[in-house]
Amino acid sequence: MNMVAALMAKRVLVIAAVLGLMVAGFAGLAPAAEPEAIYFNAKIVTLAAAGSTVDAVAVQDGKVLKVGRADEIKKLAGSATRLIDLGGKTVVPGLIDAHCHPMEAMMMKQTWVDCRYPHTPSVKQTLINIADWAKKTPKGKWIFAACVSASENKFAEKRLPTKAELDAAAPDNPLLLANGTHMGIANSAALTKLGIKKGQKRLPHGGSVILDKNGEPTGVLTDAMADVPTTPTVAELERYYAKDIQEFWNQYGFTSLLAITPAAALPVLQQVTRSKTPPTIRYTTSIWTSANGKDMPADLGKFQMPKGADPAWYRFGGIKVWIDGENDCRTGYMYQPYIGHFATDPPGGKGSLVTDQAGANRFAAIARRGGAICMLHCSGDHATDIGLNAYDKVIKSGGPATIMRIEHFGMFQLTDKQLQRAKAMKKSGLYISVQPTWLLDLVKADFENMGEPRTRTGFQFRSMIDAGLEPAAGTDVTGIYLDNVNPFLAIYAAVTRQSDAGIFEPGQAISVTEALKMWTTWAAKSMGQADVKGSIEPGKYADLTVLSDDIFTMPKENLKDVKVLKTIVGGNIVYEAKSHHGN
């Protein structure tokens, strides 16, 4: 090739390259698909890493397309874009309940006798409620009654009903009265139905039987949730998962749940995933099989959602087991005994060990091998050490890291050593779940059951956050304390340190922003979903909660009165307060 020809060839290549760049540039300037919706005129607190506050967000394909100033965001609108004026209200990321029992909540709410304090203030009124219910119940049919946790502290008589009293109230029906979810009092018909005999101390799936001095069952059962047949009908379960749960949680601003789910109920939820009706809340499941987890299969495959289920709405997340009971009914497993004595106390007075160290180790290993979140329920200080020991063992065994959670970490008592152990394990995947609303329900009972020194070690949210533990908040709603579904009661309690025993350990108060992170960014991390939820950022789900007040500037004493005006999931309004329709 001569010089002229070479120069011509080079020039052609340059022109082609320039044309290619121009075409690419024009392609880059091509208008993107228009947003489905733009929400504007609001104080939108994104909780993004940069801590931005904007006044508009554009939504496309159920995700955040862009956030920023309204005048800029509105320029993205097309002819079909919905423009929604939020009236200057405060907007936060869609709230996430990182620990709840939604199936049980609907079951107790709709089908159990209501004996909850304070509306039912005494054993006397409890027995009246049960007797009235029994009159309209067919003979031989189970009756279940719900009392709040620590009813033995709250009732006027400072005790729970006895087996004999329950026999008199419901003579023709098997009956179980729940004192919270970790203790129940069964009548004689229920004990017969369950096949519980003289001298029997344990139930097949982890529950315990309290005996009198002669070896006869007193009627008290602890952690027997898997041993008593409370499962609703298939039709009820379908309604719960497809409608009732979503509506109940949506009205409080929730867009996602970590739903602790009985294995027996899971097939119904798996079937609901095939429904053509669009869901309004995102389910992540944590499956339990029995209180002690002995029947948890090594292969977790059957817990996966069916093929075709949209993982944005339905996903298998983890598995759960109970190490102990709960301190509020004196079954949390502690090193030192509870103060005083109740007829319902387990032998030894130190609570109930449901899953021993070997069982906890096995359970944590199953979760690690299955790539699932491991959730260990630990209430008492001894139980917490068992949980941390199990995780220490699984970390040292190696293998791919998975999320390891302690449920109710330090809620009732927490030692400095446990806090430091948890801090050291954080980098290996340890997360903690807490329930701030319990400040309003259980501090008084804690003082009575554990004494002042131990009680004052509980609810240390400031210390947890300062240690970098990023606590995830959960309602733990089971149908016992139905009001606890309200996250603003929890935010109020965590910020003000108000409790049912007055201001409690004010040095452990946290900021509103930190309290909000418990229900958003930290909750998302604890579920392994920080990449898609927990903050309002491009590419994440367009899940937003519109509030009645500016929680960042209002008097902190009024936080308990905040209401949700709108709940937005995937860019669509799924709940709107009736008095604010049309805004």
Domain limits, the chain: 34-94+535-583, 102-222
Q: What is the 3-state secondary structure (H, E, C) of 348-383?
A: CCCCCECCCHHHHHHHHHHHHHHCCEEEEECCCHHH
Q: What is the pLDDT of residue 400?
A: 86
Give the DSSP letter of residue 180: T
Class of domain 34-94+535-583: mainly beta
Taking a C-beta distance cutoff of 8 angstroms, is the pair 511, 528 a contact? no
What is the reported pLDDT for 32? 61
pLDDT for res 231: 74
In the predicted model, residues of the chain with pLDDT beneath 70 are 1-32, 580-583
- For 260, the 3-state DSSP assignment is strand
Place of tokens 């106390």: 345
Helix 381-396 to helix 357-370 angle, to the nearest 10 degrees?
40
DSSP states of 53-98: EEEEEEEETTEEEEEE-HHHHGGG--TT-EEEE-TT-EEEEPEEEE
CA nearest 255: which of 492, 530, 567? Answer: 567
How far is residue 80 from each of residues 38, 60, 67, 286, measured CA to CA in Å? Answer: 11, 12, 19, 40
> What integer pLDDT is reported at residue 11 of this predicted model?
46
| pLDDT score recorded for residue 51 | 77
Report the C-alpha gap between 545 and 423 in whole angstroms. Answer: 31
Model pTM? Answer: 0.92
Which residues are CB-neighbours of 208 under 8 A, at least 6 positions away?
201, 202, 221, 222, 223, 224, 346, 352, 354
Q: How far is CA 415 from the centre of its chain?
A: 24
Do residues 376 and 321 lie in contact, with contact meaning Cβ atoms separated by under 8 Å? Answer: yes
Alpha-carbon distance 109 to 101, whole Å?
12
Q: What is the pLDDT of residue 49?
A: 82
Question: How many angstroms separate the CA atoms of 234 and 536, rounded?
Answer: 37
Nearest to 247, CA basis, from 222, 268, 224, 277: 277
The Cα–Cα gap between 189 and 26 comes to: 79
220: phi then psi, degrees, rounded to nearest 5: -80, 125
Domain 102-222's class?
A: alpha beta
> What gap in Å lies between CA 520 and CA 95, rounded to an integer?
5
Find the helix packing angle between 381-396 and 416-425, rounded to 10°.
Answer: 30
| Contact present, 161 and 342 (Cβ < 8 Å) | no
